[in-house]
Structure 1
Amino acid sequence: MDQGSQIGLIPEEPEDMWHAYNLVAAGDSLRSTTVRKVTMESSTGSSTSNRVRTTLTISVEDLDFDVQAGVLRVKGRNIAENPYVKMGAYHTLDLELNRKFTLAKKVWDVVALDRIGN
């Protein structure tokens, strides 16, 4: 893989989540779908909130693997334009089984390449 390239991954079983936990690192960028609560204000001043599914790309700062739930929580700042989330705003993406995510690294080392099977 070239420097700065990305790969789409879909964890299909709990062991895949463990591999993802060991693959994702601070400084990587990660893109995945998420649900955000969005509050809209009308011209009369009343507000309504809706849950909106959107795709975010974050610069990874921290991650936490919940073994019991099989969920990898990846925290970082939004680094791509999005109608619901400001640039630079913090967000946590929950990576779950059978949900695709895209991981980009500046440098893919031998260990990372071996982990994804390239």
Structure 2
Amino acid sequence: MKAIILAGGHSVRFGKPKAFAEVNGETFYSRVIKTLESTNMFNEIIISTNAQLATQFKYPNVVIDDENHNDKGPLAGIYTIMKQHPEEELFFVVSVDTPMITGKAVSTLYQFLVSHLIEN
């Protein structure tokens, strides 16, 4: 399963891009990546963002949202990545402004998803 980190918002109320805000000297996006990696549940972690922010990420797997859907908010990022990975059936989606998410929370959400897929 691939994980998508949504990081393409304009952060108007926040005043600056949330992805690059810091907690204890570590950027929000770095913390989310580290947490997702620590679970060993994802075969790929992808940052979804806009063209203005893309070059600021120090991460090799950044996808720029489809410009034809800029007015769709976070759905533009999800759509863009799903379109690029048609073979993938499931995606784990998390927002970049959740730097305190834990591996346990990610694991719980993942297990809930898997258990409900099996039931249906």
Tell me the TM-score range normalised by the shorter chain. Answer: under 0.3
TM-score with structure 1 setting the length: 0.24
Larger Rg: 1
| Higher strand proportion | 1
TM-score with structure 2 setting the length: 0.24
